[in-house]
Amino acid sequence: MKILFALMAVLAVIFFAPPVLKKFNSQGIHGSTDKRVMQSLKDVRQSMVTEERHTFDVALGLLQAFHAQEGENAFANAVSGKTPTEVVDMAKKEVEAKIAAGEADFKQYTSWEDMLSKKAAEDAPKKPGGQQPPAPLRQSQRTGRPSN
Q: What is the mean pLDDT of residues 43-56?
A: 84
> Three-class SS of residue 26?
coil
* pLDDT, position 148: 60
What predicted TM-score, i.e. pTM, was given to this entire model? 0.63
Report if residue 147 sits inside a domain: no
Residue 4 belongs to some domain of the structure = no
- DSSP conformational letter for 92: H
Residue 116 lies in a domain: yes
In a domain, 46, yes or no: yes
Any domain includes 82: yes
Average pLDDT in the chain? 79
For the purposes of burial, counting CB atoms within 10 Å of the CB of 45, is it exposed (0-12), middle (13-18) or buried (19 or more)?
middle
Q: Tell me the pLDDT tens digit for each residue of 98-127.
A: 888 888 888 888 888 988 888 878 776 665
Asked, for residue 64, whether it belongs to a domain, the answer is yes
Asked, for residue 130, whether it belongs to a domain, the answer is: no
By three-state DSSP, how is residue 73 classified? coil
Q: 51: part of which helix (H) or strand (E)?
A: helix 50-67
Give domain status of residue 5, yes or no: no
- In this prediction, residue 147 carries a pLDDT of 63
- Give per-residue burial for 69-88: e unless 16+ CB within 10 Å, then b: eeeebbbbbbbbeeebeebb
List, for residues 59-103, the tens digit of each pLDDT value: 988 888 888 888 777 888 888 888 888 989 999 999 899 888 888
The pLDDT value given to residue 90:
92
Q: Which tens digits make up the pLDDT trace of 16-40?
A: 766 656 555 556 777 777 788 888 8
Domain of residue 59 covers: 13-120
Number of domain units in the chain: 1
